[in-house]
Amino acid sequence: MTQKQKVAFIGLGAMGLGMALHLLETGYTVSGFDVNPNSLEALKARGGMAASSPRDCAVDASFLICMVANAAQTDQVLFADSTGAVYGLQKDATVILCSTVPPAFPRTVEERFRVDFARPDVRVVDCPVSGGTVRAANGTLTILCSGASEALKASEPILDSMSETWYVIAGGLGSANKVKLVNQHLAGVHIAAAAEAMGLVASLGLNTRVFQDEVLGSKATSWMFEDRVPHMLADDWTPHSALGIFVKDMGIVTTEGLNQNIPLWLASSAEQLYLLGAQMGYDREDDSGVVRVFTPNSPSHVSTSTQTARSFNDSKMFEHVKSMLEIVHTVAAIEALALGDSLGLRAHELVSIISNAAGASEAFRAVAPLVIAGDFSSGPTITETREKLVGTRICCYSVWHCLTVCFPQLFCPRPSVCRI
């Protein structure tokens, strides 16, 4: 059997370690580097090699996969004086950037290899990944990739090994992170909306598990609701995806919105929510733990409310909160599509990818085709939707409802209703 090429893997965090171990299992020789010695020991225990620096990690590797937290760390591990991976990369190596970073950053990396280090032979692939720790370890990630055709061709075996599905995004380096940015916009808003809904249901004295069951399969559901709410109900904050990641990712989203002069009302509010969660000490715990922001005096309130007895009026209150979720998801879909359009993404391609990714919701699947078709007459009007939320009389318990309904200068026909 032909020996597979060596892979250097930098960034052995919750997802990175699983990805590196899966590459080992599929026959690649893997050297790894991380600042956490426990991660290096875990790699060694499974047959990988632990390097003392990014430079040592990259020696003799045909591929270098970078899975660190952000753009600043990526720049450091690649280009730091004497220890950067650039000093160890062999000729014609391929660098695969798997971190979620600002869309302009991958081109900057390629430029630094070419100009600052006279390494035009190094191929760069913009390659953000999605799927969490379990799918990383199983090699079933969803991967977005963009770059020069020769770089993508060289990376195909690695992409096949790590993913269940991977998409080539047209437009060159940075295009994949543009799509990932839109996905993270939706995913971040949906987690925040799910947390708010669950916190609201618990605060209203309703059974949170029954509410979850009513949302699943309805027009109010989202991929993130289905994935994160079980953690809330179990009071389990094991970091499958740390809250701090969304502090970073929503910061990228809102910054790009400013760059494109696009007002991102929901994304900006979600960013503030994650920042507050981080300030409360939840940044290294699972992002579903942001639900505790809504129940600060009783952090386990959502979990303990699974035992709450049902009453006659519960179904009516459930419908109100479900309406909130569906409407917030709809507004988020429109906001995200506007952002994607400003970034020059192909609408049909974007919708196809998002509809099957972590940013998906039933509302997105319903509204996105209408937006693409220019159909703005189907469905309820803005006024009808606004009145529906105001009419529930629970809208002003939460920032999301005030944002979409009762923001005084823009939306609210009855500002005296608002108690925030």
Q: Which residues are catalytic?
A: 180
The continuous run of DSSP H or E covering 287 comes out as: none
Q: Indicate the pairing of strand 129-130 with strand 94-97.
A: unpaired
- If one counts every other C-beta atom within 10 angstroms of the C-beta of residue 387, the result is 15
- If one counts every other C-beta atom within 10 angstroms of the C-beta of residue 371, the result is 17
- If one counts every other C-beta atom within 10 angstroms of the C-beta of residue 134, the result is 11
CA-to-CA distance for 126 and 106, rounded, in angstroms?
Answer: 6
**Cα 380 versus chain centre, distance:** 30
Name the residue among 99, 96, 77, 110 with its Cα closest to residue 160: 96
Enter the tokens of residue 161.
């090994």
CB 146 within 8 Å of CB 174: yes
Name the residue among 419, 174, 403 with its Cα closest to residue 266: 403
Q: Which amino acid is at 170?
A: A
**Cα 177 versus chain centre, distance:** 11
CB 371 within 8 Å of CB 394: no
* Gyration radius of the chain over CA positions: 23
